[in-house]
Structure 1
């Protein structure tokens, strides 16, 4: 298996452990994103019952899905800092994957709304063990000259998994029940939960066999893990890591506004669910296509220019969505918004990775991953609350956040890469 990974890693020009970890995250991403489609169907199928606390099905679905995001984001700084203290990443990733596998199979036995909330909450905590430790490990296996490329490859694989899951989840549910060898039969929901369990198990095996912590992680355990708000160097007002965390929160909120207003979008554009699905997927398509090349480009030309341009592009691509009446133009706007986010995310991770001292990767990088997770959770809530005041209002709100994020990045974040040493001068020897 190791030889196969070594052959596969050559075209990506990354450490084989980074590619193995990226592949593992792609596998667990498929299973985890399955649940985004399957859980709403499961709640409305009549299989689940019990106390609903006086809430309707749509509110229960929202609680189940959002609980994952809030717990996941809230626990990431804790697990990131703890992995820094201990000086180990791999055990945290394995604990998270094991928890994910066990909670995936637990859905088969869930028959009440309360059990769904508990299981989804435990999944959020499990993934909080995986994300900061994984990103920190990628950071520590990279160098200043290839950090952006490594982050880009990792994010590309992860997003492929996240995008592939929803594409097939509905079909798995609708085509059930399935006959198994020996005469057993399982319905479509149980099949989907078992698939999610299998993908998490595959990830666990891949990490166990192919991924290891670098020696420097243990050697540097227990460093100063505080995350200041103000810039200690005195160059700017705010600390750059904190600044990028706030900008990531604003960016994620802006890009997630689209997710929960499908009825309003379809009515305004006079389109069906197929077009909405394409528009929603356009963002992920741009991310998958551009994360790696942008990551490698920021290793060559610097981190800050990509982050600034990406935040600048986020402003019009968010605003225009509130004023369009064409399905094609909405698709292009979402695609352009995905380009903007791709220009921000991998370079931001690389810049924070550059700033992270020995043994600080988990703590510092978790600021970005936590902020992004909160934004993804806050975006749908914001659009749901604001769309009643007018279709364009959520997007104006998102645009305002994008402008604030752009101002913060432009004024408070400095370049960390010495581009003069990495970019060849034409005509030089």
Structure 2
């Protein structure tokens, strides 16, 4: 069995535990992204009722979906720091996956809007146990020379799961009910919730069997876990990890603007839901294709060049979305926006991992994952509020954030690799 696993791992050139963890995150990502599609349909289906707190359906859906992101991001610094204190990663991941599985099946019994809010909130807390501990574990299983590649592989698998879920969620719901033996039937909604439960359970099993904490994690528990804002030792004003967190928040906000203005996008471009789905997927396609090669490249050429270039590329690819009138060009813009994000995400995690001392990975890297999560939650709310002032307004706002983020990383973040290979210039001998 071990030889089989090693042969599977070989093409990715990562620790087998990293690949197993990446596979587990892919599985739970499928189930969790299922709910992004299913919950709005569930709210509008008439299956649930009760008080809506005076909110319209659209706003209620936004609150339910955003609650996950806000709680998830808010709890990450605490779970990341606690995992550092205890010197354990795997138990935190398992607690989170167990919570995710139980809350997924709880949707089957939800009959009120309040119960949906509670369940989605608990899911956010559950995932807060998973993300910082997973990223910290990947960081600790890597070395300076392969940290970017490890982060790239991990993020690639996670994004495959995130992208695959929405692609089939609608079909699972629409094709229900499903007949079972004994004249029983399962509705399309219940089937979707069961699928999400099964994927979380599969992830739990994979982590239990295939993932273990490195000995150094426990040995270095209880290190200095403070998160400074100012750079206390380097030449710059701001701490580089804090700076990367701010830039990650700006980037995530900019890329998430597109998600909640589907009606306005479709009306402006005179397109249907299929084109919007392709445009939304274009971002994920670029991420899946480029996370691993960019991660490995930043191990060779340095972290900072990719981060600065990616943030700079985010500026025009965000701005142009507010002025395009072609569905095909919007797809291209989203694709290049995905390229920009891929150039930032894995190298940023690798750079922060380089700077994190022994036993600090959970605390330090949670700054980036927390900031990214907040951005993903703030982006849709921002676009929903700003689009009333003109279609281009949300994208101008996102562009301004991208400009600020570019300035910050260019001026406040230094390279962490001691030796890098110069990027070849075409025409050089």
Q: Is the TM-score greater than 0.5?
A: yes
Q: 1:84 matched to which residue of 2?
A: 84
Q: 1:141 matched to which residue of 2?
A: 141
Question: 1:111 and 1:2, CA in 2 relative to 1: closer, same or farther beyond 3 A?
Answer: farther
Q: 1:269 matched to which residue of 2?
A: 269
Alpha-carbon distance in 2 for matches of 1:84, 1:55: 41
**CA deviation after TM superposition for structure 1 residue 51, in Å:** 1.2
Contact 2:356–2:364 (CA<8 Å) still a contact in 1?
Answer: yes
Q: 2:298 matched to which residue of 1?
A: 298
Q: 2:354 matched to which residue of 1?
A: 354
Q: 1:381 matched to which residue of 2?
A: 381
Contact 1:304–1:347 (CA<8 Å) still a contact in 2?
Answer: yes
Q: 2:183 matched to which residue of 1?
A: 183
**CA deviation after TM superposition for structure 1 residue 423, in Å:** 8.9
**CA deviation after TM superposition for structure 1 residue 185, in Å:** 1.0
Moved more, 47-56 or 223-232: 47-56
Q: Say whether 1:336 aligns with 2:336.
A: yes
Moved more, 378-387 or 414-423: 414-423
**CA deviation after TM superposition for structure 1 residue 420, in Å:** 4.0
**CA deviation after TM superposition for structure 1 residue 5, in Å:** 2.5
Contact 2:248–2:368 (CA<8 Å) still a contact in 1?
Answer: yes
Q: 1:367 matched to which residue of 2?
A: 367
Deviations 1:328-383 (A, max 9, x none): 11000000000000000000000000000000000000000000000000101111
Q: 2:285 matched to which residue of 1?
A: 285
Deviations 1:286-305 (A, max 9, x none): 00000000000000000000
Alpha-carbon distance in 1 for matches of 2:148, 2:26: 19
Contact 1:2–1:210 (CA<8 Å) still a contact in 2?
Answer: no
Alpha-carbon distance in 2 for matches of 1:234, 1:41: 51
Q: 1:324 matched to which residue of 2?
A: 324
Unaligned runs of 5+ in 1: 425-429
Deviations 1:5-39 (A, max 9, x none): 22210100000000000000000000000000001
Alpha-carbon distance in 2 for matches of 1:135, 1:314: 24
Q: 2:415 matched to which residue of 1?
A: 415
Question: 1:317 and 1:261, CA in 2 relative to 1: closer, same or farther beyond 3 A?
Answer: same
Contact 2:300–2:421 (CA<8 Å) still a contact in 1?
Answer: no
Q: 1:112 matched to which residue of 2?
A: 112
Deviations 1:368-411 (A, max 9, x none): 00000000001011111111111111111100000000000000
Q: 2:427 matched to which residue of 1?
A: none
Q: Say whether 1:46 aligns with 2:82.
A: no
Alpha-carbon distance in 1 for matches of 2:235, 2:391: 42
Contact 2:25–2:158 (CA<8 Å) still a contact in 1?
Answer: yes
Deviations 1:174-204 (A, max 9, x none): 0001112333211100000000000000000
Question: 1:420 and 1:110, CA in 2 relative to 1: closer, same or farther beyond 3 A?
Answer: closer
SS at match of 1:179: strand
Alpha-carbon distance in 2 for matches of 1:324, 1:208: 48
Unaligned runs of 5+ in 2: 425-429
Contact 1:243–1:408 (CA<8 Å) still a contact in 2?
Answer: yes
Q: 1:392 matched to which residue of 2?
A: 392
Q: 2:25 matched to which residue of 1?
A: 25
Alpha-carbon distance in 2 for matches of 1:142, 1:288: 20
**CA deviation after TM superposition for structure 1 residue 58, in Å:** 1.3
For residues 149-160 of structure 1, what are the structure 2 equivalents within 5 Å? 149-160=149-160
Question: 1:266 and 1:381, CA in 2 relative to 1: closer, same or farther beyond 3 A?
Answer: same
Q: 1:427 matched to which residue of 2?
A: none
Alpha-carbon distance in 2 for matches of 1:234, 1:17: 34
Moved more, 261-270 or 91-100: 261-270
Alpha-carbon distance in 2 for matches of 1:315, 1:54: 38
Alpha-carbon distance in 2 for matches of 1:74, 1:186: 36
Q: 2:220 matched to which residue of 1?
A: 220
Q: 1:12 matched to which residue of 2?
A: 12
Q: 1:233 matched to which residue of 2?
A: 233
**CA deviation after TM superposition for structure 1 residue 53, in Å:** 1.2
Contact 2:301–2:421 (CA<8 Å) still a contact in 1?
Answer: no
Q: 2:68 matched to which residue of 1?
A: 68
**CA deviation after TM superposition for structure 1 residue 56, in Å:** 1.4
**CA deviation after TM superposition for structure 1 residue 421, in Å:** 7.3
Q: 1:121 matched to which residue of 2?
A: 121
SS at match of 2:170: helix
Contact 1:30–1:161 (CA<8 Å) still a contact in 2?
Answer: yes
Contact 1:351–1:416 (CA<8 Å) still a contact in 2?
Answer: yes
Alpha-carbon distance in 2 for matches of 1:222, 1:300: 32
**CA deviation after TM superposition for structure 1 residue 422, in Å:** 9.6
Alpha-carbon distance in 2 for matches of 1:218, 1:411: 36
Q: TM-score, normalised by structure 1?
A: 0.97
Contact 1:300–1:423 (CA<8 Å) still a contact in 2?
Answer: no
Alpha-carbon distance in 1 for matches of 2:267, 2:167: 23
Q: 1:59 matched to which residue of 2?
A: 59
Moved more, 262-271 or 304-313: 262-271
